[in-house]
Amino acid sequence: MSHLVDTFGRVHDNLRISVTDRCNIRCYYCMPEHATDFQPRSEILTFEEVERFVRVAVGLGVKKIRLTGGEPLLRRDLPVLVEKLAAVPGIRDIALTTNGVLLEGLAKPLYDAGLRRINVHLDTLDRERFRQITRRDDLDKVLRGIDACQELGYGPIKINTVAVKNLIEPDIVPLARFGRERGIEIRYIEFMPLDSQSLWDLNRVLLMDDMIAMLTREIGPLEAIPDQDPRAPATEFRFLDGVGSVGFVASVSKPFCLNCNRIRLTADGHFRYCLFAIEEMNVKAMIRGGASDAEIAEAVQANVRAKWIGHQINSAQFVPPPRPMYAIGG
């Protein structure tokens, strides 16, 4: 039974936890080249604090967890956290979103800790374009990380590609072909106004319908996969020839806020009812100030009850959140 229901009747059972705001690459639509405003270590939740919050959240109906960041694989001993969270009674599913640069070495310890589902962020298969987008020369490491996950039997493995117009068009089709060959779903995520340098503009978003047209023209027809989970952020399509599927997170062209089931915990211990929320609740202050589990649960419930209808990216009233994506947890 869930206790995290808002005034629109949305039930929240999916918690995204950021474990660090740091990153080892610099995707230009996410982080500035010389990012320095990272939180000091003392402000980052310890594993014990994260685990305590998760236990409280499970008592409120949370069943699924995704670890993210910043780059979560930079967090020392991450497999230890995965193991702790996988052992919390009531957690049915743990997933990870990573840029894959450190994955080759960590795939096995994370698998042994209980991780099976992984999303690897990859915008291009071209080394020079990878270097331009991320300001680092790490494409080979990411590809080796994906290989390692496939060899170990991770599943499903998905690739996240950020769909920025006038940039990513040459990569859409090669990535889909790569996915078809490997049995990996590519998820194209419409560029969202969460970058730290205010580069976002509606005209810079490559829209789902345009990507579908491109894939249909170059590879073949797609059809919507029937009976999809209406609460999943991606709309999924399969190729009619039976080889592979693609997903689209169309946050801009087809917002899915009315089906949202997600809540978030930032690396520095702030609770957010939405990726785009303007206000946050300082859970770390409660944890470190001696609040009881019941007090934390009550505060989280009240926060979720007051959740807004959605982000309104397409309206003139849209206000970007006060922190960039890497500091919130994507």
Segment interacting with ligand SF4, rule: CB under 6 A, options 69-77, 213-221, 237-245, 307-315:
69-77
Q: Which entry of ligand SAM, ligand SF4, none binds 31, CB below 5 to 8 A by partner kind?
A: ligand SF4
Distance of CA 328 to the CA centre of its chain: 10
- Which of ligand SF4, ligand SAM, none does residue 192 bind (CB under 5 to 8 Å by kind)? ligand SAM
Q: Is 146 in the site for ligand SAM (CB under 6 A)?
A: no
Q: How far are the Cα atoms of 91, 182, 220, 246, 316 from residue 58, in angstroms, in the given order?
A: 7, 35, 43, 31, 37
Distance of closest approach, residue 183 Cβ to ligand SF4, in angstroms: 24
* Binding partner at 195 among ligand SF4, ligand SAM, none, C-beta below 5 to 8 Å by kind: ligand SAM
Residue 252, H or E segment: none
CA distance readout (Å), 123 to 27, 134, 178, 311: 10, 9, 12, 25
CB of 306 to ligand SAM, least distance (A): 25
CB of 23 to ligand SAM, least distance (A): 6
Contacts (CB under 6 A) with ligand SF4, residues 8-27: 23, 25-27
Q: Does residue 145 touch ligand SF4 according to CB under 6 A?
A: no
Contacting ligand SF4 (CB under 6 A), which of 20, 99, 119, 124? Answer: 99
Among 185, 195, 268, 280, binds ligand SAM (CB under 6 A): 195
Residue 159, CA distances (Å) to 5, 83, 116, 189 in order: 31, 24, 14, 10
- Please choose which of ligand SF4, ligand SAM, none residue 54 contacts, taking the beta carbon within 5 to 8 angstroms, the exact cut-off set by kind: none
- The one among 71, 83, 104, 138 contacting ligand SAM by CB under 6 A: 71
The identity of residue 208, as a single letter, is M
Residue 321 · residue 275 · CB < 8 Å: yes
Taking the alpha carbons of 81, 86, 88, 91 in that order, is the dihedral positive or negative? positive
Amino acid letter for position 8: F
What is the Cα 44 distance to its own chain's centre? 19
Residues sharing a CB contact under 8 Å with residue 89, sequence separation 6 or more, in sequence order: 58
Residues that bind ligand SF4 (CB under 6 A): 23, 25-27, 30-31, 69-71, 99, 121, 326
Residues that bind ligand SAM (CB under 6 A): 23, 29-30, 68-69, 71, 97-99, 121, 160, 162, 189, 191-192, 194-195, 325-326, 330
